Each structure stands twice: as structure tokens, then as C-alpha cells.
Chains A and B, each alone.
Chain A
Amino acid sequence: GQQLNQSPQSMFIQEGEDVSMNCTSSSIFNTWLWYKQDPGEGPVLLIALYKAGELTSNGRLTAQFGITRKDSFLNISASIPSDVGIYFCAGPDNYGQNFVFGPGTRLSVLP
């Protein structure tokens, strides 16, 4: 089945730094979704991308839908402590029925 890969697996950054993480696949996705999960909580949708090349921002977050439709990146600018969590990328499978999730990028922000 379709799979999503995320890198890095984890990252430690200083408060105030910018963060970049990405999501790749060997197959095409027509939608890219980015979620953040806090410990013990359900994932919360951050950004949804529906068109190749699309660049979308949500506050300090910016995500892009890769032109090849096989990748997407998420950037966080000027990180703050509440950015700590696990960031997942996801997309619907070829049948548009089930959503595939990447393994996640665990972000830690040091004060």
C-alpha cells in the first residue's frame, strides 16, 4: 500500500529558531494534510493542501504541496515552547477512502 515517510524523525531546537520538516512518498497524493498531536490528545489539523505547488500559511506555519505530488514540507518560524509535539503528515489513498499517516516528526523546543 501507499506509505509516507517523514524526516527528521525527531528534532531538538532552541526557542526562537525556525523548523523545517518534510514528508515524502513513492506514490502520488492528491491531498496533503499536516497534523500536530500533543501528548495524550488527538491530532489537530494544522494545514490542508489540495493543489500541486500550493503554498499555504497558518500563522507561523507554512506548508507546501510539492510539484511532483510526492512530497510536502512544513515550516515553523520563530518556534515557541507550545510547538512541542508530534507532527504527522497524511493523505488519502488512491481510492480516496482511507487516509495514510506518516510516522511523525517529534519536535522538542529548548528554552
Chain B
Amino acid sequence: SAVISQKPSRDICQRGTSLTIQCQVDSQVTMMFWYRQQPGQSLTLIATANQGSEATYESGFVIDKFPISRPNLTFSTLTVSNMSPEDSSIYLCSVEDLPGNTIYFGEGSWLTVV
């Protein structure tokens, strides 16, 4: 399976600021995803990061709030913009090995907004 590295692993952020999370994969992958996991909850898909084109966002998530970049097949970033305490969550980068087969996760980025 691919090795997925995220940074930062955790951060405490001020309300109203923005933070960019980086995701680096040790091999080229077609599909990369960003998930959010709010405290005590399951995982919710934010968007699919598409290489060379705009990300595909799930219902309830918009580009202005969660801009995503995917400059190549091994790297992606997620920015959480204009943060509020409700954005305090673990943000997880994941990759798919084969279509509809299995997905693997990074270690997660734990953001606390104060």
C-alpha cells in the first residue's frame, strides 16, 4: 500500500485564519480524497482532488471554504479557510489503489480552532 504523509499532524489555529494541510504520497495515484472527521463522528468526504482540474466537492462543502490543489499525482493540499471553532476536526487525506477497491489514509491533521 502507498505511504501517505500529512502535515501538520496537529495545530491550534486562531478563529478567522486559514491553514493549508499538505498530503504527500510515495507513489503516483489516480484518486486522492480529503475527509473530515469531527469529534466523536465518522468520516465525511469533503472532495475528490483531481489532478489538473478543479476538485469535485460533496454536498455541504464548497471551494471557497475548502480550496484544494492537486498539482501532480503524488501531492495535494487542502486549505481550511476563515476557520471557526466548528472547523475543529481531524482532516484526512486518502488514496485509492484501484477503482472501487480499497482506500488508505494518512495519519490525519488534527486542527483545533480557538
Contact = CB atoms under 8 A, between A and B. Distances in A.
Interface in B56-114: 58, 90, 92, 96, 99-108, 110
A40 B103 CA distance: 19
Given A97-B48, A98-B45, A102-B42, A44 B102 contact: no
Interface in A1-57: 30-31, 33, 35, 40-45, 48, 50
Contacts of B90: 40, 42
B43 interface: yes
B104 A30 contact: no
B95 to A, nearest CB: 11
A85 interface: no
Interface of B: 1, 4, 6, 10, 33, 41-45, 48, 58, 90, 92, 96, 99-108, 110
Interface of A: 30-31, 33, 35, 40-45, 48, 50, 88, 90, 92, 96-99, 101-104
